[in-house]
Amino acid sequence: MAATESVLDVLIIGAGLSGINAAYRLQTEMPGRSFAIVDSRDAIGGTWDFWKYPGFRTDSAMALFGFSWYPWPHVVSMAEGPQIQKYIEDAAAAEGIDKKIRFRNRVTAASWSTNEQRWTVSVDVRQKDGSVEKQVLKVSWLIGAGGYYDYEKPLQVTIPGIERFGGEVVHPQFWGDEVSYDGKRVVIIGSGATAVTLLPSLAKTAKSVTMLQRSPSYVASRPRKDYGFPWLEKFLPLSWTRTLNWWRRMFIETFAVWLLYTFPNFGRKGLVEGMRRQLPKSFDVDKHFNPRYDPFTQRLCFCPGGDFFKALNQPNAHVVTDIIETVTETGIQLKSGETLEADMIITATGLYLVLLSGIVMTVDDVRVDQDLGKRFIWNSVMLEGIPNAGVVHGYTAATWTPGADVRTRKMFKVMRRMDELGASSAMPYLGEEERVKLPQKPALNLSSTYIVTARDRVPMSAGVGPWRMGNNWLSDVLNLNFGSMAGIQYGTADKSKDD
């Protein structure tokens, strides 16, 4: 079937939190621009519609994790996936954004033409009968808001002997309704947020649940409900309460992140002692919950109401810190000689990172998606050498959404600057002489395995000037409002201009 063609000012890829927020900012700050949101899935919500494993939830306070323009309406602070998905759906409907979403639309390729000053985007549109219709979009701007991991494949980790296991092997990324763990001996391989969420959920009905980790992680408890909100509501109008509560949560988080980054030894002691108080007296905290790394060198794990620690106070929940020798037909043999008998193994071993949703991307017929690790990021949102495109990414050491929002607004500031100059393109640009002087650091500088193994797929950050990846909302807001727009080359079909 011949491809149909249409023209748009802006194409947003992804109908999750970042994509819906980008659409809201676009239609309120720059009304009149035509846009659409495309998503390969059948429903709104992105991550929050995708994952189905037991207990799946956010580890951030919803007062911040939700949209600032559509306040979270519930007292529950660390909400589960279905509740968040419904919230995103309601927010999009309230602003008419839902009418701009094109579901079952997978972007496969995007090609920038300097002569045309726009992108040609190839889209596979999946019909309800399973057939695929080809569509071509001519787009002035691309916004990648599809998250940072591949929905179709997890991080590939070698687990010796896993093919011999006689029980069931499940990866949380592909959890389905058919998975049953009731009355079974379950081993979860991993120590990140997924494992910390799974353990208390499975322990309710499993015979036993063991979290097997190579090294410890930091786990901190957070209140299950936001008790500050109802207290403020007693004295203030609802709109004031929501605004003040947002700022209260932002201040607390910004201060806490700064404190842990600035005084890591103090932070380590506080986090470890917090875990020690919630675990049985006989528990070996130094072995199982005293990480070798400083806080935020890897992501902190949070649990609502201390549910993770409460589970570990029960006889059927355990943590083992050891190395896998091999998986046998009936369990896991460890380097220490211990054997973990199992009926089910859950491989919570990480995500496969991919930016720009794995799209084949070219600029004037030169492939650019395969060398992102050699390109600098501009103010956390645009990529060196790629015009009229942004990658929306939230914070990794703080709540995602405020970071995604401030970066989206920085990108729109570039668009407004283009209007002032009468330009049709904007591209982060570094001359070779300047480029070689810049420090080269990964934009995502966590030491988690799934991030370290993706260094060639993640852009660089110099940590100076506009060539940086911010990790602090306050500094990013100051940069948005007062920061230089240097480093952008503006152009039209026949000329260019540096800002």
Nearest alpha carbon to residue 299 among 228, 390, 196, 377: 196
Q: CB-based contacts of 265: which residues, under 8 Å, 6+ apart?
A: 294
What confidence score (pLDDT) does residue 10 get?
98
Distances (CA, A) of 259 to 65, 252, 255, 256, 275: 21, 10, 6, 5, 18
Count how many residues are written for the chain. Answer: 499
The residue among 120, 114, 137, 109 whose CA lies nearest residue 36 is 137
417 touches 499 (CB < 8 A): yes
Q: How far apart are CA 490 and CA 499, in angstroms?
A: 7
pLDDT per residue rounded down to tens, the chain (499 residues): 446 668 999 999 999 999 999 999 999 999 999 999 999 999 999 999 999 999 999 989 999 999 999 989 888 989 999 999 999 999 999 999 999 999 999 999 999 999 999 999 999 999 988 899 999 999 999 999 998 888 888 888 899 999 999 999 999 999 999 999 999 999 999 999 999 999 999 999 999 999 999 999 999 999 888 877 777 777 878 777 888 888 888 998 888 888 888 999 999 999 999 999 999 999 999 999 999 888 877 778 999 999 999 999 999 999 999 999 999 999 999 999 999 999 999 999 988 888 888 899 999 999 999 999 999 999 999 999 999 999 999 988 889 999 999 999 999 999 999 999 999 999 999 999 999 999 999 888 776 777 777 788 889 999 988 999 988 898 899 999 998 899 999 998 766 656 6
Determine the pLDDT at residue 1. Answer: 45
Q: Are 14 and 147 in contact (CB under 8 A)?
A: yes
Distant-in-sequence, close-in-space partners of 358: CB < 8 Å, separation ≥ 6: 150, 369
Give the pTM.
0.93
Backbone dihedral region of 487: left (phi > 0), alpha (psi from -120 to 50 degrees) or beta? left
Residue indicated by tokens 């806080």: 295
The answer to whether the CB of 188 falls within 8 A of the CB of 164 is no
Among candidate residues 100, 58, 103, the one with its CA nearest the CA of residue 78 = 58
Rg (CA), the chain: 24
Pairing of strands 208-213, 317-321: parallel
Distance of CA 223 to the CA centre of its chain: 22
Phi, psi (rounded to 5 degrees) for 449: -55, -45
CA-to-CA distance for 459 and 157, rounded, in angstroms? 23
